[in-house]
């Protein structure tokens, strides 16, 4: 049984279809004082796969409730899929007195599940914060399906951390070069500056690939530099299209041609699904347990 969190309903439905598993009609209610109540139908003797991106504080609460609800409803085994794990960027205590928020969230999630599947977490190390087995999947390759007819393509990572996924997308697309910028972010102001590489972009289509577009500062800086340097078209591609606040406007103002993302966070630009990658991960997990 696939059990969707409220913000992951399209992905959960796609996953149910891909895997042939039934889709639970969960409900999401709210009391007058603001407290939430997520619930699931009765089922017994099955594995419940809770699919819930934690892209808001409400989504975290809902996830913990769904994990508890499926046990109450009779699930023998619970797998938790976090298509997008919020708080993963708070993977250390940056100043005295601050929490390691990713660890706190992971510990809470671990209490209600037998296993966790993460899609492109911001830092792979966050997997170690869970107290149950974790599988981390790289779904960036599905972005290639949203790209076609690229002219002399360059797949560019806006910082060193994204080189791997830029290569994944290039490999899935089948041709093109890869390169990366150097990035500096001012911790106080959040302002981002990127130092261009030597790669020539004149008359080329450039796909800037990142794990997440959050405020859009990183991506819009990269787009701005590339447009200035004469790129033909610049596409912004990311696994997690958070697109908070005025990110879309910043990207448009910088001259982006298109924004493409997956359905780990449902947005207007979520043009490809990670469901096939999650299907493989669930099948591999089941096979490993049987073996």
From the annotation, which residues make up the binding site for Mg(2+)?
Answer: 122, 159
Question: Count of CB atoms within 10 A of residue 277's CB?
Answer: 21
8 A C-beta contact, residue 269 and residue 241: yes
8 A C-beta contact, residue 154 and residue 206: yes
Name the binding residues: 33-35, 89-90, 122, 159, 185, 210
**Minimum gap (Å) between residue 165 Cβ and ligand R5P:** 9
CA dist 140 and 24 (Å) reads 27
Active-site hit among 103, 115, 180, 183: 183
**Minimum gap (Å) between residue 244 Cβ and ligand R5P:** 7
Name the binding residues for ATP: 33-35, 89-90
Q: Return the number of the residue (25 or 195) whose C-beta is nearest ligand R5P.
A: 195
Task: Let me know if 250 is a catalytic residue.
Answer: no
**DSSP string computed for the chain:** -EEE-GGGHHHHHHHHHHHT--B---EEEE-TTS-EEEE-----SSEEEEE----SHHHHHHHHHHHHHHHHTT-SEEEEEESS-TTTT--S--STT---HHHHHHHHHHTT-SEEEEES-SSGGGGGG-SS-EEEE--GGGGGGG--S-SS-EEEESSGGGHHHHHHHHHHH---EEEE-EEEE-TTT--EEEE--S---BT-EEEEEEEE-SSSHHHHHHHHHHHHTTBSEEEEEEEE----TTHHHHHHHHT-SEEEEETTS--TTEEE-SHHHHHHHHHHHHHHHH-
**Minimum gap (Å) between residue 54 Cβ and ligand R5P:** 16
**Minimum gap (Å) between residue 30 Cβ and ligand R5P:** 29
Q: Return the number of the residue (150 or 219) whose C-beta is nearest ligand R5P.
A: 219
Q: Return the number of the residue (210 or 224) whose C-beta is nearest ligand R5P.
A: 210
**Minimum gap (Å) between residue 63 Cβ and ligand R5P:** 22
Q: Return the number of the residue (245 or 288) whose C-beta is nearest ligand R5P.
A: 245
The contact set with ligand R5P (CB under 6 A) reads 158-159, 161-162, 192, 210-219
Q: Return the number of the residue (115 or 180) whose C-beta is nearest ligand R5P.
A: 180
Name the binding residues for D-ribose 5-phosphate: 185, 210
Q: Looking at the annotation, which residues are catalytic?
A: 183
């Amino acid at each position: 049984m696939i059990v969707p969190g409220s913000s992951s309903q399209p992905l959960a439905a796609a996953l149910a279809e891909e895997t042939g598993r039934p889709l639970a009609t969960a409900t999401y209610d709210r009391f007058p004082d603001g407290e939430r109540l997520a619930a699931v139908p009765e089922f017994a003797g099955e594995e419940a796969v809770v699919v819930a991106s934690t892209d808001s504080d409400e989504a975290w609460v809902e996830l913990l409730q769904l994990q508890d609800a499926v046990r109450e409803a009779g699930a023998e085994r619970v797998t938790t899929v976090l298509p997008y794990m919020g708080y993963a960027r708070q993977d250390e205590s940056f100043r005295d007195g601050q929490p390691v928020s990713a660890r706190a969230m992971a510990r809470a999630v671990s209490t209600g599940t037998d296993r966790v599947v993460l899609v492109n977490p911001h830092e792979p190390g966050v997997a170690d914060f869970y107290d149950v087995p974790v599988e981390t999947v790289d779904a960036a390759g599905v972005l290639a399906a949203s790209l076609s007819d690229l002219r002399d393509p360059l797949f560019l990572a806006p910082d060193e951390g994204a080189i791997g996924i830029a290569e994944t997308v290039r490999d899935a697309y089948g041709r093109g070069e890869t390169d990366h910028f150097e990035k500096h972010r001012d911790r106080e102001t959040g302002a981002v500056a990127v130092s261009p590489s030597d790669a020539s972009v004149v008359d080329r289509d450039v796909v800037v690939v990142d794990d997440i577009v959050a405020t859009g500062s990183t991506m819009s800086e990269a787009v701005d530099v590339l447009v200035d340097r004469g790129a033909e078209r610049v596409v912004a591609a990311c696994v997690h299209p958070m697109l908070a606040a005025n990110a879309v406007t910043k990207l448009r103002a910088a001259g982006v041609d298109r924004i493409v993302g997956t359905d780990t966070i449902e947005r207007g630009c979520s043009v490809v699904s990670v469901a096939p990658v999650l299907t493989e991960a669930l099948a591999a997990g089941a096979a490993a347990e049987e073996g």
